[in-house]
């Protein structure tokens, strides 16, 4: 009987470990920031840093599109300004 209880307990532990491991792998981190001039940026990714990186890229793309729609092509110094502002989003 003790052997059965030990095996049963071990199987339950393995089951819970597998279920919790699967839940961790499927989880995503959601990042949201309001930039004011280009609106709210929402991203989701597997890690916090990847979600932050995706938000920075989305911010940059929106700023460039907004600038070019109003004023034409952006020069290199303006692009650097956009990179600086989007790289320093609220963590």
Q: Break the chain into its structural domains and give their ranges.
A: 28-87
Q: What is the pTM of this model?
A: 0.68
Q: How many residues does the chain have?
A: 91
Whole-number pLDDT of residue 27: 80
Whole-number pLDDT of residue 7: 67
Tell me what percent of the residues of the chain surpass a pLDDT of 90.
Answer: 58
User: End-to-end alpha-carbon separation of the chain, Å?
Assistant: 55
Runs of H (alpha helix) within the chain? 2-26, 48-71, 76-87
d(CA 47, CA 49): 6
More confident residue, 90 or 15: 90
For the record, the structure tokens of 1 come out as 């009987």
Whole-number pLDDT of residue 3: 73
Torsion of CA 41, 91, 43, 71, to 10 degrees: 30
For the record, the structure tokens of 39 come out as 């609106």
């Amino acid at each position: 009987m003790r052997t059965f209880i030990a095996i049963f307990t071990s199987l339950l532990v393995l089951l819970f470990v597998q279920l919790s491991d699967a839940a961790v792998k499927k989880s995503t981190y959601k990042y949201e920031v309001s930039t004011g001039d280009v609106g709210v940026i929402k991203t989701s990714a597997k890690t916090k840093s990847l979600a932050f990186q995706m938000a920075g890229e989305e911010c940059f793309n929106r700023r460039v599109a907004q600038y070019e729609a109003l004023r034409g092509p952006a020069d290199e110094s303006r692009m650097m300004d956009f990179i600086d502002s989007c790289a320093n989003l609220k963590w």
